[in-house]
A and B are shown apart, each in its own frame.
Chain A
């Protein structure tokens, strides 16, 4: 997409956001809130430990994880009254594109800001990067190709990178290598919708809710498609990874929601 068109589209988006914000502002308090997200990783209930621990897959194969990194983006929050809150994005920045790295505790907690007060009962996001940003040229911040999650022999982001070992892998050194991304125009980042029920996230001037998600890697091997490492040990952006990509939304679960007063949420 050309820069001009990209800019024009972003311009329209901004305008829509501005109108929406202005419209909201008339009905509600001017103060805006935030929602914090916290992510933990596990395999069938066991906390994920990188490098050493081995975990069983649902098919009885075993694997360990050295590296787990992925993008989450395009967050939307669903309010109980049926409205969606869509955070503003800026084509010039990677704000709103979160790079989660199991080895980097700071990346496991992030905030969605400028959320209008209200009771939210659902959250939606992409595992990966949307089509426009996936082909938008060189970007900065979390989307900087220097993060190492941009393919070098073809163009596009690695949405999820899982590297480890498995005795069932026939690759050199029993390596397990899953680099998943968009393979073709039909194969875009998978969307996840998670209801918060029975909880709600009560965003207000005083309360910054914390939504705790857990990511269960066992789901990578069951879900829509059953995956056997003995048959699939290496995926580097090929269509062989589509089955794994189809399983991605099943990894994400809501653990619980805290509705804590703001100062406490900040301190934790």
Chain B
């Protein structure tokens, strides 16, 4: 059983107009076996949270903590975080020239496990995982994400999730840009990884449709860098019907305050 704990996290970025605070005090605790959904309108800071956990250099943590089983995640380099068991499925996976998928997957697996995977079982595992995600076998010969379609890139992210077996998976809008079939395939992959029982999942999404396939126990609504409402799966259903309008600034700060109060109550 592992715990990923985020406490009063404040994060800013440097822009041409100066420093801008994006996360304004976020607290969240995820345990092995749990699935949390973070939902919110564009620009609310959802992806910033994901990238900050992974250690993207663009984001400056000004205060607050992130710990994994008590270890200070913020003190770790990006690669150390991955080796500690954090996995970020990226919203925009990067194309890496010159590195074949085969080479990449094996190198990453070796780095994460601290030893090279046994060649025979590894090759078999990769093949099987690819087949389940309906990724063509010839993708292993291609360079990482190079020339892949949006949907293919997302499947390859989930392929890595299944192969690397992290303690916590953070899925950053993995559902965006996917058609229904691809969404099902990707969701099945996440559910398979989750079903092994050793992973906690933080699912970040703008839409509710992925929640038909991946069932969260906890739903957190993000607005303007803060969690404004928290609840169970029924909160997602409500968002599906009502959208994010009731959190809009036009509706007044009172609504948000009320929602926060309700969440804390």
Q: Do A and B come from one complex?
A: no
